Amino acid sequence: MSKKIISLVLCILLIISAASITASAAAVNTPQNAYSISLNKSKSFTFKYGYPAHDWHDSLVSETEVYYVFSPSSTGYYEFEATGYEKDKYVTGKTPSVALTVVDSTGKSVCSAYTSDYSLITKKAAKLYKGEKYFIDFCNFSITNLTSYNDYDWGYAEQTLSLTVRPHKHEYDVTKYKYSTYNHAFFDCRYCDYYYSGNFYKPKTLSLSKTSYVYDGKVKKPTVTVKDSNGKKISSSYYNVKYSSGRKSVGKYTVKVTFKKDYEGFSSLKKTFTIVPKGTSISSLTAKSKGFTAKWKKQTSQTSGYQLQYSKSSSFKSAKSVNISAKTTSKKVTKLTKNKKYYVRIRTYKTVSGSKYYSAWSSKKSVKTK
């Protein structure tokens, strides 16, 4: 047999031997001696594959799989995430290929994740039970796609990736169906098997914590409550609130609610509130012949004038009113019934864009005409 034939046979035997080594040495441990991993604590592992000396005479190193074990302290949803891929370290046209497989103590699959693109993340979640052991098979199939491996004929590469276990917060893919009186939505978590659906009924009422304020020079911002057609309160996360500008001086202001997310498409709701001027009070009433003179405390801020009201009835039935300039703090009322008791009260007002805004009435006082 020629030396060339003998060399060829030896090469074939070496390749077969290397293949068997790759299969048997891929995992650095087993589920029985898996490395422990804790909640919210990342574990880094350096995957290795190839010939460190770049020589086929060298021993093949194949550490492309590792096992971890996790035991939750409470029942709930947990996510498993692998990170650390760097796009610029892969051969052009080649991508990461990493897998996570989680099984319970009986070997039943709980969840698995696989990436074959540059999303830079492999993540999956599942419901786990308190005190149970879960084994995580962490595999790196694409280490030979790294440029460092392909720099030599007999390649070798190392790649450090991280694994993290954390509590899972559902992130949903949402399918919506719109109807005239409600929206229907189906929520499917993109990382685990949790899903739910719900109806979101048409918003009907908007109410404010206060609809009237007394002027004090401060900006007013009443809180909002929105209820649907069934009388159920709608969470503020489903709408935006816009207030009129200003909201400090006497006048009328608008609050507008527009809907989003699962309530998107429903008409907006509006509500108004007012700011009224500060009131005043009667300081004295002096009886006159068939009349009286009223005096009151001057109100200087946000006031256009005063309205004085008088009546023979304590409930102010059939009362008469008179508007008085803001510059004046007294008023003589005449042509009343002689020796008759009259009840008197006063309030301020401010005119804004043609509309009058009144304060509350003062306490009533009485006087008997002469």
pLDDT tens digit sequence for 61-91: 999 999 999 999 999 999 999 988 787 888 9
- Bridge partner residues of 241 (DSSP): 257
- Same-domain check for residues 144 and 230: no
* pLDDT in the model for residue 118: 57
**Mean pLDDT score of the chain, rounded to an integer?**
89
- The pTM of the whole model exceeds 0.75: no
> Does residue 286 lie within any of the structural domains?
yes
- Same-domain check for residues 246 and 212: yes
Interatomic CA distance for residues 58 and 348, integer angstroms: 100
What is the DSSP-derived secondary structure letter of residue 25? H
Q: Which structural domain range is residue 312 located in?
A: 282-368
- Same-domain check for residues 268 and 329: no
Kindly compute the dihedral angle of the four CA atoms of residues 293, 297, 300, 306, in this order, to the nearest 10 degrees. Answer: -40
Token pair belonging to 345: 């009260």
> Does residue 179 lie within any of the structural domains?
no
Q: Quick one: residue 335, left, alpha or beta (phi over 0 = left, psi -120 to 50 = alpha)?
A: left
- Same-domain check for residues 80 and 140: yes
* pLDDT in the model for residue 121: 63
Average pLDDT over residues 224-252: 97
Number of separate domains in the chain: 3
Q: Name which of 189, 153, 147 is nearest 51 in CA terms.
A: 153
Q: Which residues contact 11 (CB under 8 A, 6 or more apart)?
A: none
Number of Cβ within 10 Å of residue 367's Cβ equals 23
pLDDT tens digit sequence for 306-363: 999 999 999 999 999 999 999 999 999 999 999 999 999 999 999 999 999 999 999 9
CATH number at 359 reads: 2.60.40.10
- Same-domain check for residues 117 and 36: yes
Q: Which band of pLDDT confidence, cut at 50, 70 and 90, is reported for residue 4?
A: very low
- Same-domain check for residues 19 and 122: yes
- Same-domain check for residues 51 and 163: yes
> Does residue 230 lie within any of the structural domains?
yes
- Same-domain check for residues 294 and 269: no
**For 225, how many CA atoms within 13 A lie in the half-sphere containing its CB?**
9
- Same-domain check for residues 54 and 90: yes
pLDDT tens digit sequence for 38-58: 999 999 999 999 999 888 788
- Same-domain check for residues 154 and 239: no
pLDDT tens digit sequence for 171-224: 999 898 988 899 999 999 999 999 999 999 999 999 999 999 999 999 999 999
- Report whether pLDDT(9) > 70: no
Boundary (domain end) residue, out of 214, 248, 276: 276
pLDDT tens digit sequence for 269-281: 999 999 999 999 9
- Same-domain check for residues 250 and 305: no
* pLDDT in the model for residue 114: 83
- Same-domain check for residues 227 and 255: yes
Q: Which residues contact 359 (CB under 8 A, 6 or more apart)?
A: 214, 276, 277, 278, 279, 280, 347, 348, 349
> Does residue 175 lie within any of the structural domains?
no
CATH number at 246 reads: 2.60.40.1080
pLDDT tens digit sequence for 116-166: 665 556 889 999 999 999 999 999 988 999 999 987 788 999 999 999 999
* pLDDT in the model for residue 270: 97
CATH number at 24 reads: 2.60.120.380
Class of residue 339 by CB neighbours under 10 A (exposed 0-12, middle 13-18, buried 19+): exposed
Interatomic CA distance for residues 196 and 193, integer angstroms: 10
- Identify the residue with better confidence: 26 or 126: 126
